[in-house]
Amino acid sequence: MGTKKRDGCCRKFTKFLFSHIGLSAMVILYCVAGGFIFEHLEKQNEQQICYESRSEYNPMENKTIESILKIFSDYGFPSPANREIMEIQIESVLQTFRNNTIAIGYDGRDCVHYGVPGGPVYEWSWPGALMFSVTVISTIGYGHIAPKTVWGRLVCIAYAVLGIPLMLLCLANIGDVLADIFRFIYAKICCCGCCRRKKRRTTKVVQIRPMQRSQDPAWKTEKSGVIGGSLTDDFSRIPTKSPTGSTDTNDNKKSNTDMASLVRPGSSKSGSRAPSPSGKTVKIVPLDLKAFNRPPTKHDPVILDDDSDDDDDDLDEKKITVPLTITMIVIGGYIFGGAVLFGLWEGWDWLQSAYFCFITLSTIGFGDVVPGTDFENPQAQAQLILGAIYVMFGMAILSMCFSLMQDEIIAKGKWVGEKLGILDKTDD
């Protein structure tokens, strides 16, 4: 009992993990865990790199100051005679100082006051590491921050190897669900109910237990007269429905006469179809008349049309496809909304904001424009979290739009193939 209970719990847990909610929760928890892991691996190293850059910058700064003072001591106060020479030498010293500063990557931060209010802000804070984790598994990869430690780079490889397939699986799953929801909303609201359900005409053949006619006295006395005796008597026992749904004697007599005419010798070589009073197609199965000259066995079937579901509506919903213009409007609307949002938060112009949103959703990710990199802004951390949420929702919406566009393109291709005579209507 304990083993079966554990197997049942494992089966339910596995089913939940690969459901829509389970996959979304796994991706979110994976990104949150990645934020904590990379923050722990790279945060202290960031401060250490600041100290190393500062140690390289200080001697270079002192040497630059000494070079400029030497120029003034050699030439004295600038005069029309020596001014041009002094400017050339000072410019050369400043260019060397600038290039060396860029090479060591020092930006003048006070490394001692890292993380202190009023001091430098960590790039590898939890919001920054969360943003980095999202860009890794979504294959955007801005590159504005990157791991520098050995363990950070090894963990990044393993994190991407596991996270990218998980992200793609989640996007495919969530994209299909969102596509079905959007298709339903489009059919109910945008189409204004013009996409209706239609009836399907079906023919059913049901096998039932045969009647034991060998025990009937009519069979024993009249088994030699198939048409005049037992056959019509047997069919008379089966009540038939009238077009109004009722059973009466006149309808039964008429049905018996029609049925007898259908099973005359010579007309039972091939099956035929005839409409029933309910509007469905009735399949008339050819009968072997020789079988009626012998008592039936329990293996002999009686084939009748099953009219028990006359009142059931067999409906087939029409396949709905969303036009490409609608999906492009959805993508454009999401980009426009993100451009307005980041324009207000970051102070970007509309073109720069729209450029960032498009580069992000297309997973190009140049990294030249990234939110939350202005660390003087007190809202920088919130902007990083907002950027991560925007990326996650944007990838899901993009997957939904791709699914809708795929269905529409396939439907258009099939329509063109039918018009050109390449495909039949029954071909997929």
Kindly report, residue by residue over 227-284, the tens digit of the pLDDT.
444 444 444 454 554 444 444 444 444 444 444 444 444 444 444 444 555 555 555 5
Q: Has residue 271 been placed in a domain?
A: yes
Q: What is the mean pLDDT of the chain?
A: 77
Q: Do 106 and 246 sit in the same domain of this protein?
A: no
> Given 268, 286, 316, which residue is the final one in a domain?
316
Residue with tokens 């939904």: 400
Q: Do 143 and 211 sit in the same domain of this protein?
A: no
Q: What is the pLDDT of residues 174-186, one digit of tens each?
A: 998 899 889 888 8
The predicted pLDDT at position 290 comes to: 53
The predicted pLDDT at position 112 comes to: 87
The predicted pLDDT at position 425 comes to: 72
The predicted pLDDT at position 321 comes to: 86
DSSP 66-98: HHHHHHHHHH-S--TTTHHHHHHHHHHHHHHHH
Collapsing DSSP to helix, strand or coil, 193 comes out as: coil
Provide the number of structural domains found in the chain.
3
How confident is residue 351, by pLDDT bands cut at 50, 70 and 90?
Answer: very high
Q: Has residue 305 been placed in a domain?
A: yes
Q: What is the pLDDT of residues 283-335, one digit of tens each?
A: 555 555 554 455 555 555 544 444 444 444 433 345 688 899 999 999 999 99
Torsion, Cα of 67, 71, 74, 76 (10° steps): -140
User: Residues 6 or more apart from 263 whose CB is under 8 A from it?
Assistant: 227, 231, 287, 289
Do you know the residue count of the chain?
A: 428
Q: Alpha carbon 186 to chain centroid distance?
A: 17
Q: Do 280 and 388 sit in the same domain of this protein?
A: no
C-alpha to C-alpha distance for 12 and 19, rounded to whole angstroms: 11
Q: Do 54 and 111 sit in the same domain of this protein?
A: yes
The predicted pLDDT at position 4 comes to: 63
- At how many degrees (to 10) do helices 126-137 and 380-420 cross? 20
Q: Has residue 200 been placed in a domain?
A: no
Q: Do 174 and 290 sit in the same domain of this protein?
A: no
Q: Do 85 and 120 sit in the same domain of this protein?
A: yes
Q: Do 350 and 362 sit in the same domain of this protein?
A: yes
Q: Has residue 113 been placed in a domain?
A: yes
Q: Alpha carbon 257 to chain centroid distance?
A: 60
pLDDT at 53 over 80: yes
Q: Range with the lowest mean pLDDT among 86-95, 213-222, 375-384?
A: 213-222
Q: What is the pLDDT of residues 123-180, one digit of tens each?
A: 999 999 999 999 999 999 999 899 999 999 999 999 999 999 999 999 998 998 899 8
The predicted pLDDT at position 395 comes to: 93
C-alpha to C-alpha distance for 428 and 425, rounded to whole angstroms: 8
This prediction has a pTM of 0.66
- At how many degrees (to 10) do helices 150-185 and 20-75 cross? 130
> Given 299, 316, 333, which residue is the final one in a domain?
316
Amino acid making up residue 84: E
The domain that holds 139 is classified in CATH as 1.10.287.70
Collapsing DSSP to helix, strand or coil, 282 comes out as: strand
The predicted pLDDT at position 266 comes to: 44
Q: Has residue 428 been placed in a domain?
A: no
- At how many degrees (to 10) do helices 350-361 and 324-346 cross? 120
Q: Where are the alpha helices (DSSP H) in 238-370?
A: 249-262, 324-346, 350-361
Strand partners, 272: 284
Q: Do 32 and 166 sit in the same domain of this protein?
A: yes
> Given 316, 342, 364, which residue is the final one in a domain?
316
Contact in structure between 385 and 127 (CB atoms under 8 Å): yes
Q: Do 37 and 165 sit in the same domain of this protein?
A: yes
C-alpha to C-alpha distance for 128 and 245, rounded to whole angstroms: 73
Strand partners, 265: none
Q: Do 168 and 133 sit in the same domain of this protein?
A: yes
Q: Do 268 and 122 sit in the same domain of this protein?
A: no
Q: Do 59 and 181 sit in the same domain of this protein?
A: yes
Q: Has residue 426 been placed in a domain?
A: no
Q: Has residue 104 been placed in a domain?
A: yes
pLDDT at 39 over 90: yes
Q: Has residue 425 been placed in a domain?
A: no
Question: The domain containing residue 256 runs over which residues?
Answer: 205-316
- Residue 341 class from Cβ within 10 Å (0-12 exposed, 13-18 middle, 19+ buried)? middle
The pLDDT of 379-383, averaged and rounded, is 87
